[in-house]
Amino acid sequence: AQTVTQSQPEMSVQEAETVTLSCTYDTSESDYYLFWYKQPPSRQMILVIRQEAYKQQNATENRFSVNFQKAAKSFSLKISDSQLGDAAMYFCAYTGTASKLTFGTGTRLQVTL
């Protein structure tokens, strides 16, 4: 079974600074997708960024980018120029041939002035 591990329960970053959230996963599949979801206090999960495992190029969405290391099974999220609105729970997720999203336990990100 696939597992997703987020080893940082909480992180803090100052406004305008950069922060990296860690995620590792375990799978025997070669074809899969990885996601980062954001859950603000409103509780609605929102997709931040998606990475296809067959692509070597790291995905980027504006201030959000990933560092995808397939051999190491690592999928970290970098948030640049952090904003107050980035404060939320961030979940790393995996989906493979079973088409089921497997989530990590989440990292709570605080953004300070």
- Return the structure tokens found at 64: 């959000």
> What is the pairing mode between strands 33-39 and 88-95?
antiparallel
d(CA 23, CA 21): 7
In the block, residue with structure tokens 């709570």? 108
Site string for another protein, 15-54 (x = CB under 8 A): -----------------xx-x-x----xxxxxx--x-x--
Q: Kindly state whether residue 55 participates in binding another protein, applying the rule CB under 8 A.
A: no
* Alpha carbons 90 and 55: distance in angstroms, whole number: 23
* Single residue of 27, 82, 104, 107 touching another protein by CB under 8 A: 104
Nearest distance, CB of residue 45 and another protein, angstroms: 4
Pairing of β 74-79 and β 64-69: antiparallel
CB of 113 to another protein, least distance (A): 27
Residue 99 as a binder of another protein (CB under 8 A): the answer is yes
Q: Is 81 a residue that touches another protein (CB under 8 A)? A: no
**Which stretches of the chain bind another protein, using CB under 8 A?**
4, 9, 32-33, 35, 37, 42-47, 50, 52, 91, 95-106
